[in-house]
Amino acid sequence: MRKLTAMGIRARPSRNAALMELSAELPAVVLSRLLGVHISAAEKWAKESASTRAAYAAELSHRKTTEGSYR
């Protein structure tokens, strides 16, 4: 990542998005073994992705449609 950063390319946001997506799809133990990260780190990512998705779903359910009514 240092070489990318030196060229002005920020790789961390993409890395974090990929980890978030994987953690939403895979159990923490599989993610831990697949990526070689500690199980507590994988559990943290899994918890974060679940709460993010739940908050997003709740937000979507309260948005107004283009006609002004709620979904």
Domain chopping of the chain, boundaries: 2-62
Asked if 45 and 31 touch (Cβ cutoff 8 Å), the reply is yes
The confidence score (pLDDT) of residue 51 equals: 67
The confidence score (pLDDT) of residue 1 equals: 73
The confidence score (pLDDT) of residue 58 equals: 78
Asked if 31 and 37 touch (Cβ cutoff 8 Å), the reply is yes
32 closest CA partner among 43, 17, 24: 43
Q: How confident is the prediction along the chain (71 residues), in pLDDT tens digits per residue?
A: 788 889 998 888 988 899 888 888 888 899 999 999 999 999 999 888 886 667 777 777 887 665 555 55
The confidence score (pLDDT) of residue 53 equals: 66
pTM to 2 decimals?
Answer: 0.60
